[in-house]
Chain A
Amino acid sequence: MGLLEPLLKISPLTLAAVLVFSPALFGVVVFAVRTKWSRKGVVTVAGWVLTLAAITVFAIAFVSRTALSATLPAQAAPWSMIVAGGDLALLAAILVIAVRFRSAMVLVVALVQLAVVLYAELTGGHAADAAPAVFIDWLSVVMVMIVSVIGSIIVVYGLPYMKEHERHLGIDEAGSHRPGFFLTMLVFLGAMNGLVIFDDLRFVFFFWEVTTLCSFLLIRHDATELANTNALRALWMNTLGGVGFAAAIALFGAHAHTYSVQALLHSPMGAAASLPILAALACLMFAAFTKSAQMPFHSWLLGAMVAPTPVSALLHSSTMVKAGVYLLMRFAPAFHGTQLSNVLAIAGGFTFVATAFLAIGQTNAKKILAYSTISNLGLIIACTGLNRPLALAAAVMLLIFHAISKGLLFMACGVVEHGIHSRDIEDMQGLVNRMPLTTLIMVIGILSMLLPPFGVLIAKLAAIEASVHLPLAMGMLVIGSTLTVAFWTKWTGRLLTSEPGAVHPKIEHLHVMYFVPLVLLTVGAVAFSLAVFPLLTELVEPAVTQYYALVPGAAGGVDLSSDVLAVPWMLVFGFMATAVVVPVLVARTRPDEEVGAYMCGEQIETPNGSGFITAAEQSCALSIRGHYFERYVGEETHGLWMTVVAALLMAAMLGAVALR
């Protein structure tokens, strides 16, 4: 404790500056100094600086046990002008993109946003002149850790990946797009940090829009026709979300006379809130749904998979989509106890079920991961809508565990893609023999998403327990959890399918900058699951307690006791670990014990591995494929009605505003 005392003297403003602006500065250096070694060095250093800053923030919060807050000196700068200027500059950039790529959709949406932003500036500008503040509570700490640590790991992984990527595309060092790529990635991380540590909604909105622009640039990185189309779709959808955000700012400014999130949360909220305030909250929900790629806006995240894998890993695990759910979790006390909250839970639950269902029919690994991300974010949103301490605790745990596991899975997928030149899970059949190490990592990643005693499942069970009071949401969580099992199990099955008697697997060589990030996150997935209880008491409970302190009548601490969490999880862990380790140690098969598959006495050896003799007395090589039930779970069959239902649920949110 004493060792950590000096930390308390570090100003939150200094930390905020490091977390938000240092990545951008490092990015500029990477962009300006174009040599291979400077890029490697600077990106790695940027990762370390971010990680250390995040750990410092965590340590300070841990020692001081209160939220860190500080206000920027009011006279130092015309803050309102700066942030307004920033917003307009971003909109100008989006308009330029709209014209440059001849996208009417982007143009229209950006103009609408411009109108709303100008309206907000003109009507609400006088609402609050107080200087914007930095406010870092436990929720922000969790987000900063996710963004800075996992984000840095992904950016470092991007170094060898992008090199290989450009070699495939035949781009030499001189024409390399990597300087711009890493600049955008780093700015993205800084913007995410800004989004979670600034208290002023106008600042949050500015960083929100920076992530929109960065994601556009990253998705269209390869500049193919498909990349352009998908990037433009992501841009107009997220800009549309920005319209909702700007409308919320206008409403808050006009009716609550403040832009401070904390001030808003401390004013009469929930059932006591006025109609315009509830409408503002519904607008924020709309914005969060676009950013977190919830149905009906899920298509932008599916399209984003055209981007290089580090981009996907970043968008899916630690940044972008997490911004949406963060915003909802941040504002959860404000809609506590309203019908709006219930509709939110149902809408999130619907996305959870629908996308888990659609994932069953997919063979593209990145698409399965994308659907799974959307699904899990739906679950987090459903938890936020359930708006009970246990549900919020589940949401925070999902936020953490999903970020680790999904980052890991995308990175492993990228390694596999470079290894076998395919992202189709059918082509990954028997990968355990070809890339045993990566397969092991991938399987741990997958199992950490769905099996006990890993954290995602514990959080999911807590979510189900918290949902019992809203039967419709509960039904969705139950069915969604079941469907989730199907696509992960089938994928793992493909990976592990091995040809008996095949050459014995040789452990593949992985680039050190692949190996270290993958191992870090694998260890993280297992260690965090093992440490689920310290995590809960030290990180999640304080976060939820701070949140619940804002809800009237619940100020006296929160009760997270739940049957799910009362299970002797360490016993479960120990038992299962023994069950895995014992056969490996004592019952490993010797080569002379390994036998081929049973084929009704008709098996033969063919040049392509084992085969069999057909009814027509011809030899035939054996080929195995998975079932994907495309006829029953296909996107073509169900995509449309699901989107319509999701759109209706969005409309229901507006209706719920009127109902309180």
Chain B
Amino acid sequence: MMAEYLAALAAVLVAPFIGGVLMGIDRIVSARLQSRQGPPLFQPFYDILKLFAKRRMAANTFQMISVSVYLASMVLSLALLFMGQDLLVLLFILALGNIMLILGGFSVKSPYSQLGSQREVIVLLAYEPLLVCMVVGTYIMTGSFSAASIFGLERPLALSMPAFVITQALVMAMKLHKSPFDVSASHHAHQELVRGIYTEFSGPQMAVIELAHLYELVLLLGFIALFWHTNLGIGIALALACYGAVIVLDNISARMTTRWMFGFTWSFGLALAAANLAALYATGPLPR
């Protein structure tokens, strides 16, 4: 029990640094792909520090609550993952954070953040079933929803649940607002949506959101690393490969519409998930 809490604490303390470096790499790689030099590797940290130092401005107090719960849910999700806790609960705590951020976007009467929030609801609808199906897949394999139980398996999950590696990469692209799924908020403010759901967050609030994003990134990569639990080195390599693929996808595709994204994930994504789940039900060791 104690060891689990310590692992969770360590993860919570270390995760932002790993997340920040990975995001720094993302920015350099993306810049090079666009024939730019790109920022320093540690730019994400500089950004967050600078934002924390800015004067506090907000449209209402609820925005503060929304970003605070958003960060809390990301931190708690990561902690639960490292404690080997129930993945299904983890997903809904993750969703709690997203819903609070959406409500924060809704709380300002701004067309940009309102539109971003409306679309983020659809984004949430698009990826949530994929995540839950993934967790159900692990249940069929292990007979439990707990993350810890995965370590009792002999074979890596990636071999029995290959489709879910792909869906997890898709979910990562959607949750990180990468093209072609950056419908609710784009990384760049030079288009009709401005910064979408983030438009009305500034200064310290934005810093909290960025910090939460670092946790989110590590959490998403952690999910994928679990797919090769027998050798976490391979697992981490798999996760980083997915991250690389998402970065490349981001740079070679344009933003698509919300409708397209929803249709794509609920047809292609869910079909992949359902096919893999069907195979698991047919062959997997589901305890009776």
A residues sitting closer than 8 Å to B (CB atoms) are 430, 432, 450-452, 457, 461, 464-465, 468-469, 471, 474-475, 478-479, 481-483, 485-486, 489-490, 492-494, 496-500, 563-564, 566-568, 572, 575-576, 578-580, 582-584, 587-589, 593-600, 609-610, 622, 624, 626-627
Look across to chain A and name the residue whose beta carbon is closest to the beta carbon of B111: A624
Per-position contact with A for B123-135: 1 when CB-CB < 8 Å, else 0? 0110011001100
Nearest-CB residue, chain B, relative to A433: B60
Please list the residues of chain B having a beta carbon within 8 angstroms of any beta carbon in chain A. 55-65, 67-69, 71-73, 75-76, 80, 85-86, 88-89, 92-93, 95-96, 99, 102-103, 105-114, 117-118, 121-122, 124-125, 128-129, 132-133, 136, 139-140, 144-146, 194, 199-200, 274, 277-278, 281, 286, 288
Given A493-B106, A579-B68, are A478 and B61 neighbors across the interface (CB < 8 Å)?
no
Chain A positions within 8 Å of B59 at CB level: 498, 500, 594-597
Q: B60, B93, B95, B114 — which one has the most chain A CB atoms within 10 A of its CB? A: B60
Report the Cα distance A599→B124, complex, angstroms: 26
- Give CA–CA (A478, B270) in the complex, Å: 12
* Residues B136 and A474 in contact, CB atoms below 8 Å apart: yes
Of chain B, the residue at the smallest CB distance from A569 is B89
Residues B86 and A564 in contact, CB atoms below 8 Å apart:
yes
Is there an interface contact between B109 and A430, defined as CB atoms closer than 8 Å?
Answer: yes
8 CB contacts below 8 A, A to B, read A497-B107, A498-B108, A499-B109, A579-B72, A583-B61, A594-B59, A594-B60, A622-B109
Q: Do B65 and A584 have beta carbons less than 8 Å apart?
A: yes
Check B92–A624 contact: CB distance below 8 A: no
CB of A468 within 8 A of CB of B121, answer no
A478 to B88, CA, bound (A): 11
- A452–B109 CB distance below 8 A: no
B117 close to A493 (CB less than 8 A)? yes
Residues on the A chain within 8 Å of B145, using CB:
465, 563-564
Residues of A within 8 A of B114 (CB): 497, 624
B76 touches A572 (CB 8 A): yes
Given contacts A474-B136, A599-B110, 16 further A-B contacts (CB under 8 A): A451-B92, A485-B95, A489-B102, A489-B124, A492-B103, A494-B106, A496-B107, A497-B108, A566-B85, A576-B76, A579-B69, A593-B56, A597-B113, A599-B111, A624-B111, A624-B114
Q: Are A563 and B146 in contact (CB under 8 A)?
A: yes
Q: Please, how many angstroms separate the alpha-carbon atoms of A553 and B121 in the complex?
A: 46
Do A594 and B194 form a contact, CB below 8 Å, given A572-B93, A622-B109?
A: no
In the bound complex, do residue A496 and residue B64 qualify as a contact, i.e. CB atoms below 8 Å apart?
no
- Interface secondary structure of A, over-half rule: helix
CA distance A333 to B203 in the complex (A): 59
Residues of A within 8 Å of B110, CB to CB, are: 597-599
Return the contact of B103 from the options A475, A489, A609, A627 (Cβ within 8 A). A489
Complex: chain B residue closest to A502, CB-CB: B109
Chain A residue contacts of B58, Cβ below 8 A: 589, 593-595
Chain A positions within 8 Å of B136 at CB level: 464, 468, 474, 478
A298 to B261, CA, bound (A): 32
Please give, as numbers and ranges, the residues of chain B lying within 8 Å of A589 by CB-CB distance.
Answer: 56, 58, 60-61, 63-64
> How far, in angstroms, from A579 to B73 measured CA to CA in the complex?
9
A479 touches which of B57, B129, B139, B288 (Cβ 8 Å): B129
What chain B residues lie within 8 Å of A598 (beta carbons)? 110, 112, 194, 199-200
A451–chain B nearest beta-carbon distance, Å: 5
List, in ascending order, chain A residues with CB within 8 A of B57's CB: 593-595
Nearest-neighbor residue (CB-CB) of B288 within chain A: A469
Q: If the complex has contacts A464-B132, A578-B72, A598-B199, are A563 and B112 also in contact, measured as CB distance less than 8 A?
A: no
Inter-subunit contact B132/A482 (CB<8 Å): yes
The B interface, classified by DSSP as helix, strand, loop or mixed, is helix
The residue in chain B whose Cβ has the minimal distance to the Cβ of A579 is B72
A599: chain B residues within 8 A (beta carbon): 110-111
CA distance A21 to B209 in the complex (A): 58
* Cα–Cα distance between A175 and B110 once the two chains are bound (Å): 49
CB distance from B284 to the nearest CB of A (A): 11
Among all A-B residue pairs, the 6 with the closest Cβ atoms:
A493-B106, A597-B110, A579-B72, A583-B64, A563-B145, A563-B86
List residues of chain A with CB within 8 A of the CB of B146. 563, 566
Write out the residue numbers on chain A whose beta carbons fall within 8 Å of the beta carbon of B281: 471
- Please tell me which one of the listed residues A432, A576, A622 contacts residue B69 in the complex, with CB atoms under 8 A apart: A576
The count of A-to-B residue pairs whose CB atoms sit within 8 angstroms is 187
Chain A residues near B64: list those with CB within 8 A: 583-584, 587-589
**Which residues of A have CB within 8 Å of B93?**
452, 572
Distance of A608 Cα from B110 Cα, bound (Å): 15
Q: Select A588's contact among B61, B76, B113, B132, beta carbons within 8 Å.
A: B61
Please report the C-alpha to C-alpha distance between residue A450 and residue B117 in the assembled complex, in whole angstroms.
Answer: 18
Given contacts A489-B121, A496-B62, contact A482 B128 (CB under 8 A): yes
Judging by beta carbons under 8 Å apart, are A490 and B121 in contact? yes
**Chain A residue at minimal CB-CB distance from B56:** A593
Residue of A nearest to B280 (CB): A471
Residues A567 and B60 in contact in the complex (CB < 8 Å), given A489-B102, A579-B69: no
- B277 contact set on A, CB distance < 8 A: 471
Which residues of B have CB within 8 Å of A626? 118
Q: Are A500 and B109 in contact (CB under 8 A)?
A: yes
Do A566 and B71 touch (CB < 8 A)? no
Q: Please name all residues of chain B whose beta carbon is closer than 8 Å to the beta carbon of A499 when the two chains form the complex.
A: 109
A576 contacts which of B72, B128, B140 (Cβ < 8 Å)? B72
CB contacts (< 8 Å) of A500 on chain B: these are 59-60, 108-109
By a CB distance below 8 angstroms, the chain A residues around B99 are: 450-451, 485, 489
- Inter-chain CA distance A610–B59, complex, in Å, is 13
The answer on a CB contact under 8 Å between A468 and B139 is yes
Report the Cα distance A578→B114, complex, angstroms.
27
What CA separation (Å) do A623 and B21 show in the bound complex?
42
Q: Which residues of B contact A475 (CB under 8 A)?
A: 274
Q: Are B106 and A492 in contact, CB atoms less than 8 angstroms apart?
A: yes
Contact B92–A452 (Cβ < 8 Å): yes
Task: Please name all residues of chain A whose beta carbon is closer than 8 Å to the beta carbon of B60 when the two chains form the complex.
Answer: 498, 500, 589, 594
- By a CB distance below 8 angstroms, the chain B residues around A483 are 125
Residues of B within 8 A of A563 (CB): 85-86, 88-89, 144-146
B274 CB to closest chain A CB, in angstroms? 8
Contact partner of B76 (CB less than 8 A), chosen from A490, A575, A594, is A575
| Contact (Cβ within 8 A) A567 B85 | yes
Tell me, rounded to whole Å, the shortest Cβ–Cβ distance linking A622 to chain B.
7
CA distance A597 to B112 in the complex (A): 9
**Residue on A nearest B117 in the bound complex, by CB:** A493
A624 — which chain B residues lie within 8 A by C-beta? Answer: 109, 111, 114
Chain A residues with CB under 8 Å of B111's CB are 597, 599, 622, 624
- Are B108 and A597 in contact, CB atoms less than 8 angstroms apart? yes
Check A498/B109 contact, CB under 8 A, given A493-B102, A572-B76.
Answer: yes
Q: How far is the CB of A338 from chain B (nearest CB, A)?
A: 17
- Cβ–Cβ contact B103 & A496, under 8 A: yes
Q: How far is the CB of B257 from chain A (nearest CB, A)?
A: 13
The CA-CA distance from A499 to B109 in the complex, in Å, is: 5
Residues of B within 8 A of A622 (CB): 109, 111
Tell me how far the C-beta of B279 lies from the nearest C-beta in chain A, rounded to whole angstroms: 12
Q: How far is the CA of A588 from the CA of B144 in the complex (A)?
A: 42
CA distance A479 to B133 in the complex (A): 10
Q: Which B residues touch A468, using CB under 8 A?
A: 136, 139-140, 286
- Complex alpha-carbon distance, A474 and B71, angstroms: 30
Query: Do A486 and B121 have beta carbons less than 8 Å apart?
Result: yes
B2 smallest CB distance to A (angstroms): 13
B125 touches A485 (CB 8 A): yes
When the two chains form the complex, which single residue of B56, B89, B199, B288 contacts A461, counting CB atoms closer than 8 Å?
B89
CB distance from B17 to the nearest CB of A (A): 22
Give bound CA distance, A583 to B56, whole Å.
Answer: 13
Least Cβ–Cβ distance between B111 and chain A, in angstroms:
7
Closest chain A residue to B258 by CB distance? A627
Give Cα A572 to B93, complex, Å: 9
Q: Whole-angstrom distance from the CB of B117 to the nearest CB of chain A? A: 6
Q: Which of A479, A482, A564, A588 is the one whose CB lies under 8 Å from B88?
A: A564
Q: Is the CB of B125 within 8 A of A486?
A: yes
Q: How far is the CB of A235 from chain B (nearest CB, A)?
A: 38
In the docked arrangement, what's the CA distance between A351 and B74, Å?
33
